[in-house]
């Protein structure tokens, strides 16, 4: 069974750090575009960070550049999102996604070939 399981979310104060993990089972991250997305209450889902497991190239939305770092460990079939200097506006449910696409940096959101995790809550208190 194909599965993505996120972990590492929680409650943190402004300026704190969290490290999210996304563990894949039932498939290998090799050749996948992996991404972290987030959705805050009342807002649309937002693409936060992506990484190509093939090239290692990464993308971060402007609002998290310099604070968040995405990485992947293909041997462990796990992707990570290191989040530093967290702000209240980072509060959201964070989702991991993966699409088989060696040429893509980010997984597409609206396609049947993209796998999604169940999400992990990140809450930043002011």
Whether 10 has a pLDDT exceeding 90, the answer reads: yes
**Range 46-71 average pLDDT:** 96
**Range 11-40 average pLDDT:** 97
Residues in the chain, total: 126
Higher pLDDT, 74 or 125: 125
Whether 24 has a pLDDT exceeding 90, the answer reads: yes
Give the count of beta carbons closer than 10 Å to the beta carbon of residue 115.
19
Whether 7 has a pLDDT exceeding 90, the answer reads: yes
3-state secondary structure (DSSP) of residue 63: helix
Whether 102 has a pLDDT exceeding 90, the answer reads: no
Whether 48 has a pLDDT exceeding 90, the answer reads: yes
Cα four-point dihedral sign 38, 41, 45, 47: negative
Higher pLDDT, 83 or 110: 83
H-helix or E-strand containing 81? strand 78-83
């Amino acid at each position: 069974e194909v599965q993505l399981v996120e972990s590492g979310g929680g409650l943190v104060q402004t300026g704190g750090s969290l490290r999210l993990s996304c563990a894949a089972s039932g498939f290998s991250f090799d050749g996948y575009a992996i991404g972290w997305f987030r959705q805050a209450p009342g807002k649309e889902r937002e693409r936060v960070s992506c990484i190509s497991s093939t090239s290692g190239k990464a993308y971060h939305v402007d609002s998290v550049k310099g604070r968040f770092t995405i990485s992947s460990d293909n041997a462990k079939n796990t992707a990570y999102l290191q989040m530093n200097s967290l702000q209240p506006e980072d509060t959201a449910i964070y989702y991991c996604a993966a699409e088989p696409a060696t040429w893509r940096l980010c997984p597409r959101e609206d396609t049947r070939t993209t796998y999604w995790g169940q999400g992990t809550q990140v809450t930043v208190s002011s």
